[in-house]
Amino acid sequence: MNQSQVIQLIRDTVLHYMNIGNSMFENKVRSIDIKFDLKGSNAGLALTNLHSNNHVIRLNAELMEKNLTQYINEVIPHEVAHIFAESNNPLKFKKAAGHGNFWKLIMKAFGIANPTRCHDMIVEQPMRKVVTKYSASCECKIHTITSHRRTKMINGTNYCCTLCNTRLKLV
């Protein structure tokens, strides 16, 4: 499946769940913008602006590419349900509970028997930045400091030991 076919499939899936949601509630959702700009371990994010009736679903394109079936069956209905839960919140003037009973009710109406808060897709962890530690001493011991604190000390910031209250010096 090429990229334009995947995007069309996602749009069709969003429209499918919008139609179900709109048949359930008085407050209709007219459109949902879809962005493929989410990064990290989040699969999706629903954003609603009730005053302007603008709704956006942000999706993680990298994760979606590897888990398209799970996106179609779980992530898309999950995010559309958030938009309907927020748009038709029975507790007017209060934010709907993100994954509360009202959201679960909508998910069940969408045909999701056991709605879950988090996905179980395998996420490749990004390379962690290696943090270099430096040493500074006082009269009672040698302290480990970060490169940020070391740079500040080189530029004139003074730090004191919390035990002996003497000034730290770079080692």
Domain definitions of the chain by residue range:
3-109, 133-170
Per-residue confidence at 6, pLDDT binned at 50, 70, 90? very high
| Whether 28 contacts 50, CB under 8 Å | no
Least confident window among 87-96, 110-119, 141-150: 87-96
pLDDT of 153 above 90: yes
Give me the amino acid identity at 26.
E
Least confident window among 43-47, 117-121, 124-128, 142-146: 124-128
Q: Which of 124, 129, 128 is nearest to 62 (CA)?
A: 124
Element (H, E) at 85: helix 76-87
Q: Kindly report the CATH class assigned to 3-109.
A: alpha beta
**Two tokens at 148?**
């940020």
At which residue do the structure tokens 């056991």 appear?
114
Task: Give whichever of 9-18, 25-34, 66-75, 80-89 has the largest mean pLDDT.
Answer: 9-18
Question: Around Cβ 110, how many Cβ atoms within 10 Å?
Answer: 19
pLDDT at residue 49 in the model = 80
Computed over every residue of the chain, the mean pLDDT equals: 88
